[in-house]
Chain A
C-alpha cells in the first residue's frame, strides 16, 4: 500500500485544536490535490476529524473552509494544470471554488472515535499528556486499519514508549509540526530503533508533499526543538532569579526578555515566546522531559507558581496573544507579572532604571526584522556580536552568557545523540523559531 492509497482514509485525533486544525488543513489540501492526479482520480478519499465537542468541530469547519480558499488561491497555477480536462472550469475563480468544494467533501467531522474505522493513516495532535495520548491512540488502534500507521504530533514524549505500550510494532513516528502548522515549514521527524523503514519513508514523502522541511531527531525526550527551547527558557529564568537577588521579579524578567530579543537579535523575547507557546504547555513539556531525563534540572518553580495562579499565556481564538508572564496591548508587551504583588506591573514603573543598568545596545544595532531579509546579515551579526564581546555593560554581559548557554545546549543535543549534527540543531532553531543564526555558532568568540 503506497502513500497515496493510505491518504484515501485518514484520521486526525484532536483535530479542532491549535495544532490539529492546522494539520487537518494541510491534509485536506493534499488529499484534495491527490484526488485530481492520475493516481487519485476516481477514488474515494475521507478525512475523519475527531474532537471532543460539536462546537469545536463547527469552528474547525469554518476555519478549514476559509483557509482552504486562501491556500487554493495560492496554488491556482497548479489547479489550472490539474483541471486541464475539466471543460466547465475556465477561470481561476471557478477552479478555486471547485477545489475548495471538493476538499470540503472529504471531511468527516465527528466526536466518535469509532468513525475512523478503517483509517490507514492516523494523526494525533492532542495535549502533551502521555496517558491521554495512550488512551486515544489505543482506542484508535481498535477501529483503524490493522496495518494503520500512526503519526503523533508529540513535542517531547518519547515515541518508543508509546510504541511499546500500544504494541504498534514500529508503526508510529513522531511528526512534530511547529505552530502554526499550516505556515511553519519545519517538521521534526522522530524515529526509534524499531520504526519500520517504510513508515519513516512515508513520513518523509508526506512532509515533502505538505511543503515541509524535515529535520530528523532521535527519540530522546524534548527532541531538538523543545530540547533547546526548554533549557534556553530555564537559563533565562535562572538568570532573572540571580539578577533579582531575592527582590522583585518584574525588572529582572523585563531585562532578560529585552536581552534575549534585542541583544541576541531574536524575533521575540524569551518570556514572550513562553507566553506564545503557553506557560502551562511549557510546564507540561518540562514535566515530560524531567520524567525521562531526571537529574538535569528540567523544572522551574517559577513556571509552576505561575500556572497555579492561572498566569497561562497562549492565544485567543483570533490568534491574538493572551496575557501570560507579560501583559500585551495590541500584541506588544507592556507589563510583567509580579509574583510578590500578584499583579502586573507596567514597564514604565521600573524600565528607566532597568534600561540604564542594561546600558545601550551596540552602535549600528539593527533589530531582527531589519536583518531578516538582509543578504548581508551574516556580516552584520558578526559585527554585532564582536561589539558585544568588547562591551562591559550589563546587557552585553547577560547576552554573551546567554549566547554561550544556548550554544552549550545545542552542543549537548548533538553529544547526547538527540540531533545527528550541529546543522540539524541550527536548522530547527532557524526554521522553527525563526532565529537568524543557529545556537552552535562562532559568535561567542
Chain B
C-alpha cells in the first residue's frame, strides 16, 4: 500500500511551480480586510502527496487569512505511527491529516477525528456514494474523500494474443485461462496473487461480497471465514495447487521485472495502477490494456476499491473551522481537484471529474491508445458501498497479509488460514475490550 503514491512523481516541472508561485504572490499583494483584523491563522497539514504545495498555494491564495504549514510526516504506516505518538503525547498534532480510507474508522475509534459534518455535508452528492459512506456515519463526517482505487485488470495484450486468450469477463474464465496459459508456457503466469498484501486481498473479497466487520458502539461482529471467504479460498487454492499463478509479494524488484518482462500477464489492480505501471514497466510500453474486473456472477456487476485516501481534521485542532475549510476546499475546489488528476495522477472520488471527458477519454500510448481511465471510472460506479472497515485496521491488514501470504506460499490451505484469522481477530477484539459477536 505504502509505495504507490510516493512513486507517482511525474508531472512536475519548474514552469508549474513558477506559475503557482506567481499566483500566490499576486494574491498576497491584494489587501485583505480580514487578514488585517485578526492576523493569519496557522494550520499544519500532514500529507505525503508529492508536489502538494501546488494545491495548498491555491488554497492560501483563496484564503488570505489562513497560512498552511505543509509537512510530509512519512507515507502510510510511517505517518500513522507518528500520528498515534502525537495523540498519546497530546501535542505535536497536525490540524488536517492525510489518512487512507481503510484507517479512518480506526482513528475515529481513538476519538482523534473531528466531526466536520456542518461544512462537509453540503458536498455529499458531489462524491461517489461508496466513498462518502466510508468517511461518514449518518450526518457525522470524519474525513473528506480524496483519491481512490476502484479495481480492474491491466493485461499484456501481446501475451494474450500469442496464446489466444481474451480478457476474462468472469472469475471462472480467468481460472480457465490461467491454466491454459500455464500449460502452454510454464514460465508465464496469468497473474501474481499478492496474498501477503492485506489491502489487495481485501479489495477482491469486498468485490465477492465479504463483510467481515460490523461495529456498533463497543460491540463488534466478526465474520471472517463465512461462505464468501470459503468460496474465495477454494477458488484461489485451486489455481495455487495447479501452480497456474504465483503468490509472491508485490512492489519489489522481482515483481516489477516480472510484469515488464511478461512473466506475469495481468495485474489485478486499482485506479492508481495505470500511471504507476508506466513508471517502471518501460520495456513493455504499448503492450498493455485495461479490462473490467472479472465477475463472480456476470449478471450482477460488482466492484470494490483498493487504496485511496482522505483528508481528516483532528479533534484537537485549535482552529476547527479553518481546518475543516482546508480539508473541504482541497477536496472539492474544481481547479485544485482537477490538478490532482493531471499533475499527481490521483484517481478521483469527485463525480464531476470521474465523469468528465478530459479524464475518461484521455488516450494513453502506454496502453496502445486506450482510454484506460474510463475502465476504472466504470468500476467506480459499481463499487459496493456497504463495506465496513474494522476499528483496528492496521492490525487486520498486517495479520491477513501474514496468514494468507504464508498459506499461499504452501504452509497450509487458504481456508485454514481464514479460520485461523477468525480466531485471531476475535481474541484481539476481546483483548481490546470489545464485546464480540460472531
A binds B: no
Binding site for B on A (CB under 8 A): none
Binding site for A on B (CB under 8 A): none
